[in-house]
Amino acid sequence: MVTVNLNTKVLPTSHRVYMVRPGSGYHLRQAFVENHAIAPDLAGLSVRDGKRPRDSKKIVAQIKRARAMAEWVRTEETRAEKIPPSKLAKWKGGENPPRLGMYRNIADEILHQLPKGTLIYVPNPNFTEDAMFGELVGAEEARVKFNGTGHRSQFTYLGRKLTNVKFLPMRKLPKAFFPPMKKRNWTFEMDTISAELLYRQYYGDFEIVGRKSITEIKVTKSRVYAPDLAIVGAVTNLVDQTIRRLEVQDAEMISLLDVVFLAPENDAPVIHANLGSSGEVLVEAVRRHSARVVKVLLVLAVVYTGHEIWHMVENNELSLGNSQAILGVGVEDLAETQQLTYDFVRSTGRDSLNEIVGIVREFHDRTGGNVDATIIVDE
Rounded Cα distance, 158 and 110, in Å:
10
Instruction: Work out the average pLDDT over 201-223.
Output: 87
pLDDT, one tens digit per residue, over 228-278 is: 888 999 999 999 999 888 888 877 778 777 787 777 777 788 888 876 667
Q: What is the pLDDT of residue 266?
A: 76
pLDDT bracket for residue 125 (50, 70, 90) = very high
Instruction: Work out the average pLDDT over 172-190.
Output: 88
Contact 319, 342 (CB under 8 A): no
Q: What is the pLDDT of residue 357?
A: 95
For 169, phi then psi, to 5°, come to -60, 130
Instruction: Work out the average pLDDT over 289-302.
Output: 93
Pick the more confident residue, 248 or 303: 303
Q: What is the pLDDT of residue 185?
A: 87
Rounded Cα distance, 17 and 196, in Å:
9
Of the ranges 50-54, 89-93, 208-212, 249-253, which is most confident?
50-54
Q: Which residues of 20-44 are buried (b: 16+ CB within 10 A; e: fewer)?
A: bbbbeebbbbebbbebbbbbbbbbb
Q: What is the pLDDT of residue 114?
A: 96
Rounded Cα distance, 20 and 40, in Å:
9
Average pLDDT of the chain, as a whole number: 90
Q: Is the pLDDT of residue 163 over 70?
A: yes
Q: What is the pLDDT of residue 255?
A: 79
Q: What is the pLDDT of residue 79?
A: 85
Q: Which of 22-31, 59-68, 210-219, 264-273 has the lowest mean pLDDT?
A: 264-273
pLDDT bracket for residue 350 (50, 70, 90) = very high
Q: Is the pLDDT of residue 20 over 90?
A: yes
Q: What is the pLDDT of residue 330?
A: 66
DSSP string, 171-218: GGS-GGGSGGGGS--SEEEPPHHHHHHHHHHHTSSEEETTTEEEEEEE
Strands (E), 107-172: 119-122, 130-136, 144-147, 156-169
DSSP string, 33-58: HHHTEE--S-TT----TT--GGG-TT
Q: Is the pLDDT of residue 327 over 70?
A: no
Q: Is the pLDDT of residue 372 over 70?
A: yes
Which residue, 158, 159, 55, 49, is CA-closest to 104?
A: 55
Instruction: Work out the average pLDDT over 40-46.
Output: 96
Q: Is the pLDDT of residue 348 over 80?
A: yes
Q: What is the pLDDT of residue 80?
A: 87
Q: Is the pLDDT of residue 92 over 90?
A: no
Q: What is the pLDDT of residue 225?
A: 75
Q: What is the pLDDT of residue 275?
A: 65
Provide, rounded to the nearest whole percent, the portion of the chain with pLDDT above 70: 98
Q: What is the pLDDT of residue 142?
A: 97
For 255, phi then psi, to 5°, come to -100, 175
Q: Which residues are CB-contacts of 307 (< 8 A; sequence separation ≥ 6)?
A: 350, 353, 354
Rounded Cα distance, 283 and 252, in Å:
25
Instruction: Work out the average pLDDT over 12-17.
Output: 89
What does the CA dihedral 354, 358, 363, 365 come to, rounded to 10 degrees? 140
